Each structure stands twice: as C-alpha cells, then as structure tokens.
Amino acid sequence: MEKIMARQNLQSEFNGTIDQRVERYLEIDHQKMIGNQHFASASSECIGIYTDGRFLSAVMVSQAVNEGIVRFIAERNNIALHLDSDKSKTKSIPEIIDELEKQNIITQPCAAASRNIYGSFRNDVHHMNPKVAEIETYFRDLAKRNLQDLAKIEKEIFGFNIASDGSFILQQPKYWDCNKDGKVAAYLRFAP
C-alpha cells in the first residue's frame, strides 16, 4: 500500500510540474553532446537536477563541473596547475581562467561564464556557510544563470557541426578523445 501511495504522490507531483520542467530544460539550451570526460556525467546530471527544480543542488554541481572543465582545458593545453615545481601550491580556478584567457585558449565570453559560475557564492555554498540562508531565495536565478553559463562553456569546448554525410566535425578536436579509426568517445544528452 505504501508503494502505491508513493507512486501516486510522485506521479501527481510530476504531472503538476511537467510544464515548468520542460521550460527549465529548454531555457538552458545545453550542448547535446560533449566529450566523454570525467565530468560529463555530472554535467548531464546537473541539467536533470535543474530541470527537476533542485536549485541549490544545481548550483553546487555546476560549480564542481565548471572547476573540472577549467582544469581539463588547462591540462589539455599543458598549462601548469601549480605555482611551483614541487607542486605544493595549486593555482586557484580564477588564476587558471585568467591564464587560459590570456593565452587565447578560451574566449572572453567563455572566461566570463566560468568566472560567473565560480563567483556564484562558491565557498559559501560548497562549505554550507551560514550565509547560504541569506541567499536561498536567489538559488533559482543563480542556478539558471550557472547552467546557461555552463552551456556556453561546453559549446565552446565541445562544439561540433554535422557534415552533409552525417559525420561530426569537431570544432576543437583536442578536447575529444579520438580513436585511431576516427571515432570519438561522446556523452549524449538529448533528455534529462
């Protein structure tokens, strides 16, 4: 009986919120395919979390994915992640973003999007500082902005076109893991 009631309650909640979920899913305009990297699953989960209306969680996950992508871009471009040779001091995410932008590895809009996500109360949210209670009413807007910024970043890094023969033309192949046969490992996300 409990299982039946739980199913009815969840179905009712889903049916009552389906229009809002669809709107949230569409307003992100996320990249439908990205490289199958260590952050791909979390990025896709972030879209689902936002679509479901879990805004605090979406902010947290978007911050983590952003940091993962920034480090990934730096590594693929042989940018040192440490301030010294003995690796005792790690560069901050803002320092890495600045260096990527300075070297024209990422564009100014991509750097700005990454900075926005990092600046979205990252330390307060990540560490659940008391200030989180003060910004709680803004989580929906913050989550939306973060997801839209994450979409900008992913489109720049994992952008592609489709050729007339149906093959994919990768805009920046260095961010995709290509096999010897020319196939790439991709993470598809056409629905949450």
| Contact in structure between 126 and 63 (CB atoms under 8 Å) | yes
Residue from 114, 110, 61, 76 nearest 92 by CA: 114
163 bridge partner residues: none
Please tell me the distance from the alpha carbon of residue 23 to that of residue 36, in angstroms, as a whole number: 26
pLDDT at 192: 53
122 bridge partner residues: none
> What residue has token string 């790690």?
90
pLDDT at 113: 98
Q: Specify whether the backbone of 87 is left (phi greater than 0), alpha (psi in -120 to 50) or beta.
A: left
pLDDT at 140: 93
**Domain coordinates in residue numbering, the chain:** 2-180
Please tell me the distance from the alpha carbon of residue 39 to that of residue 92, in angstroms, as a whole number: 19
82 bridge partner residues: 90
Indicate whether this model's pTM tops 0.85.
yes
pLDDT tens for the 192 residues of the chain, in order: 898 888 888 888 888 888 999 999 999 999 999 999 999 999 999 999 999 999 999 999 999 999 999 999 999 999 988 877 767 789 999 999 999 999 999 999 999 999 999 999 998 998 899 988 888 778 999 999 999 999 999 999 999 999 999 888 999 999 999 888 878 889 998 765
